[in-house]
Amino acid sequence: MEIILLEKISKLGDPGDLVIVKPGYARNFLIPTGKAIRANEENKAEYEQRKASLEKAESERKSSALELADKLKSLKISIPVPVSEEGTLYGSIGTREISDAINVHGLEVEKGTIRLPEGTLKELGEYQLDIELHPEVIQEISVTISAEE
């Protein structure tokens, strides 16, 4: 299915790009979330009229992501968790717990933006994680998992 992207999508394209994707991806994700529109003659003409406002909105999203990245840069996240007598965690730490720990500091980070390349965190220690705030803005943060007292 041929679509017009309305915002930058990693590994797919930039706003205004005419791309071909699988029909299910377009119908079930890209179009309902407002990230793309069908590429017919009417939509192509309408997109050309809306292009300036869409580019402005995209630059505003990027600038707000850069501001959030600056705030996250100096943030040290510490998550105290209950551990067994051997020092192992009861369970694991995932994106939801990390997102909640960041949100406590007054910064809004969605759990879907946190990248855990090796899966959930299952041991005590310090970890370096990436947060994809925008397709062009990825910030590394330090997360420390410590034993609860």
Per the structure, the complete domain to which residue 20 belongs is given by 2-62
Mention every residue, 6+ apart, whose C-beta is less than 8 A from residue 110.
99
pTM above threshold 0.85? no
CA dihedral angle for residue 100, residue 70, residue 30, residue 2, rounded to 10 degrees: -160
Q: Are the C-beta atoms of residues 69 and 141 closer than 8 Å to each other?
A: no
For 48, the token pair is: 């050309």
Reference 5, options 132, 15, 143, 86; nearest CA is 15
The CATH number given to whatever domain includes residue 7 is: 3.40.5.10
> Is residue 103 domain-shared with residue 137, that is, in the same domain?
yes
> Is residue 47 domain-shared with residue 90, that is, in the same domain?
no
> Is residue 90 domain-shared with residue 139, that is, in the same domain?
yes
Tens-digit pLDDT string for the chain (149 aa): 999 998 888 889 888 889 999 999 999 999 999 999 999 989 888 888 877 787 888 889 899 999 999 999 888 899 999 998 888 898 899 999 999 999 999 999 999 999 998 889 999 999 999 999 988 899 999 999 999 87
